[in-house]
A and B are shown apart, each in its own frame.
Chain A
Amino acid sequence: MKDELRERLARLDPMSSRVPTESVTTPSSRRLLEDIMSTSPTEQTISERAPKKNPWFVGIAAAAVLVVAVGGVIALTGDDTDGGPVAGGPPLELDAGADDPMAMCIMFSVEELARAPLAFEGTVTSVEGETVTLDVDEWFKGGEAEQVVLHAPAGMEALIGGIPFEEGGQYLITAYDGTVNYCGFSGPSAPEFRAAFEEAFAG
């Protein structure tokens, strides 16, 4: 009975096996694959497409380029390399740069978001040069600190990872290995974005 349902559903498939697809061996397929393999595995490709797709990404990509241009990032202040919880008193300090922007610019999904070891919502209390301080409103995962300090690479100032931090603004932040994951996984708090956090870190 179950297989019968499966077969009936399969008959509704608009791309069933009788519809031809392009073989991997055709010249145009080979060209596509060779083009892809000729790119460096860490090459920034999203920035090239971003202007068409998502205005926010433009800022991120620009910022990512800036990180590279400035050359390096400020090291994470604590020893907490796994980005784990920092209990109570001292603020948690996070690096807001990245040595490999592409590695973080993976496609957004709730599943991917759920893998972040550190996630919180916070309100910016101060923006001073390359340092942004947030009061944590809610920890979704991985921390207990009441305050989080983000350190941007020199010259980045308030535009950390392409996110325009403003005093009094509320932001959703995730971090890996003590570094803010800004590529679509951190940003100003908005209902839809917050719902994704709630779903990702439920239970």
Chain B
Amino acid sequence: MSPAERRDRFEAIAAEAYEPLQRYLRRRAKAEDAPDLLNDVLTVIWRRVEDVPMPEPLPWCYAVARRTLSNHRRSVQRRLSLVGRLEAEPTPELILDPAESLQDGGLVDAMGGLPAADQEVLRLWAWEQLEPREIALVLGSTPNAVSLRLGRAKGKLAEAMSRQDPPSGGHIGDRHAEEHQR
């Protein structure tokens, strides 16, 4: 790939992924870390621009962001453990819109009770609006395995909601209750 082609490819990817990557990172990292992380992600994309699958670069870019983020978290953890403050800065597992979360506390609680991997699949599905095939690309998994996990995560969410007092939005808990009555 010639230098001009590399640039064109990178510009095309950036046009598509620049804003979604900002959202992805700010959903999962502290606001003050997001700009550096974005820089790191874009740098990796630039270095490996030939490898980026076109015309749908986004899942691949999310996969880079995911590795960048987990590397960042590991190094934060390592730094903290070096100074003996292992638990001083917990990884943000679930960051929610405060206004909305007040209105749908049941779902927030249910989500918070799920294993981290289930939460992440649900986030990629509902927040990044990815389909299982794309989620598989992000997580380095297979569409089949992702579909299974997503289905199970939704089931667990419904179950957790049904255990709560009258669910505010109601629908998921209701459905589960109906299933129990059958």
Contacts and interface: CB of A to CB of B under 8 A. Distances in A.
Interface of A: 1-2, 4-16, 19, 21-24, 29, 32-33, 36-37, 39, 41-42, 45, 53-55, 102, 106-109, 111-112, 114
A41 B157 contact: no
Given A14-B95, A24-B15, A9 B127 contact: yes
Contacts of B42: 32-33, 36
B104 A8 contact: yes
A14 B26 contact: yes
B122 interface: yes
B2 interface: no
B126 A6 contact: yes
Contacts of B180: none
B84 to A, nearest CB: 15
A41 B46 contact: yes
Interface residues of B, number: 57
Contacts of B158: 5
A80 to B, nearest CB: 25
A23 B15 CA distance: 9
A115 B129 CA distance: 27
A38 B79 CA distance: 31
A41 B6 contact: yes
Interface of B: 6-7, 10-11, 14-15, 18-19, 22-23, 26-27, 38-39, 42-44, 46-47, 49, 64, 66-68, 70-72, 74-75, 78-79, 82, 95-98, 100-101, 104, 107-108, 111, 122-123, 125-127, 129, 139-140, 154, 157-158, 169, 171-172, 175
Contacts of A9: 107, 111, 122-123, 125-127
A8 B107 contact: yes
Contacts of B107: 8-9, 12
A106 B122 CA distance: 27
A54 B70 CA distance: 13
Contacts of B100: 11-12
B39 A36 contact: yes
A10 B126 contact: yes
A107 B154 contact: no
B67 A108 contact: yes
A15 B123 CA distance: 11
Contacts of B79: 53-54
Given A33-B11, A108-B67, A109-B140, A53 B104 contact: no
B127 A13 contact: yes
A10 B23 CA distance: 13
B22 A21 contact: yes
